Structure 1
Amino acid sequence: MNSKHRPDHQWYARMIQDTLDDDFVIGPAFDAKAKEAAAPAEQPLTVAFGLLVKLSRRAKRLSVEELAEKLSVEVDELQHIEHEPEFRARPRTISKIANFFDVPVEEVMKLAGAAVSNDALFNTHALKFAAHSDDMTALTREEQEALKSFVRYLRDQE
């Protein structure tokens, strides 16, 4: 992911503040106004989703092609997930990713933008996780700890 697609920290903080009192929504917004209101809040979580997939894949020392084969999904779809926060993965793909990496499907659906939760604590954890490195080298100790901590948090949400 290159930096031109990543919002700045103030944008993330503003999105969290703007959505603190909203309800939990599953699926697409009911009308155009609701959809417009929900779209900006989804992007930070999709950044975290892409990073979760990328770091989890790297932690297992898999290439994108190898992971795609194990999940029976298209390589292009995984590349879009990892590098394009605006990309919306199919629910089937999200479910396969969650199961493969042993993370609760419901929480991964929120990260992927298939379900929206305006839980401030969840958003904060996702945003902190998204702030970490996204290069293609081996995971640093800090990235390993961030990944383990975030996956532990997601599992505790069940």
Structure 2
Amino acid sequence: MKLERSKEWWMARARREGDAVIGAGLLAFDPMPEERPAGASAAVVEETRIAFGRFVNLMRRRCGFSMERLAQVADLDASELLVIEDDLHYVPEPRTVFKLAETFEVSQQRLMQLAGLAAANDAGFRQEAVRFAARSEAVHKLTPEESSALEAFVAVLSEQQPKRVK
């Protein structure tokens, strides 16, 4: 069976992709986020991105790293780390999230979900992300409560098998 596509079809597909960098394989970027399932609402993605920025900030500080040092250790750009920690609308590249997961020794899949690059089908995970973000504040030294929240959230990120919503 031979499948043929018209030039118009390919041009329409290219317009939908816009300026997005398209990848292939396990972590391919979805060029049409408006077609995501109804469960992946903008509010949920925003909540998890807040938690993602706070997580990166707290883990960096826990490790005693400046942004420049974390960038060096994780082989990332320091300016991107700054944006990750400060701008909840920023969508990091999958490579960036992979490098951070590797550096912080947490689940790549969970961190992708937290960054909004993959759909989190686990309502408990989203609730934990929101709880974590609400309990952590950007201060210079981790408070005992922040440290406790970070430890609990690292345990959630480190789970191997996410529980699915039925």
Amino acid in the other structure paired with 1:133? S
2:34 to 16, 32, 35: 32
1:101 to 99, 104, 121: 104
For 1:90 and 1:83, locate their aligned partners in 2 and report how far apart those are by CA, in whole Å: 16
What is the rounded CA distance, in whole Å, between the counterparts of 2:33 and 2:63 in structure 1? 41
TM-aligned CA deviation for residue 118 of structure 1: 3.3
Q: For 1:8-157, list aligned pairs within 5 A.
A: 27-28=29-30, 30=32, 32=34, 34=36, 38-157=41-160
Residues 57-101 of structure 1 show CA distances to partners (whole Å, capped at 9, x for unaligned) of: 000111111101111111110011111111001111100000100
| TM, length-normalised to structure 1 | 0.76
Shift of 1:31: 6.0
Q: Secondary structure at the match of 1:121?
A: helix
The structure carrying a bigger helix percent of its residues is 1
Identity across aligned pairs (percent)? 36
Q: 1:62 to 1:150 in 2, by over 3 A?
A: same
Q: 1:116 deviation in Å?
A: 1.2
Counterpart of 1:128, as a letter, is R
Is the 1:52–1:147 Cα contact (8 Å) retained in structure 2?
A: yes
Structure 1 residues 68, 35: CA separation in 2 closer, same or farther (over 3 Å shift)? farther
Query: Which has the bigger relative contact order, CA under 8 A and spacing at least 6?
Result: 1
Secondary structure of 2:89 counterpart: coil
User: Relative to 1, partners in 2 of residues 1:50 and 1:31: Cα closer, same or farther, differing over 3 Å?
Assistant: closer
CA distance in 1, matches of 2:139, 2:124: 29
How many residues align structurally? 133
CA distance in 1, matches of 2:33, 2:128: 29
Letter in 1 for 2:153: F
For residues 85 and 35 of structure 1, the distance between their equivalents in structure 2, rounded to whole angstroms, comes to 21
RMSD over equivalenced CA pairs, Å:
2.1
Provide the C-alpha distance between the structure 2 equivalents of 1:149 and 1:32, rounded to a whole number of angstroms: 33
CA distance in 2, matches of 1:105, 1:34: 21
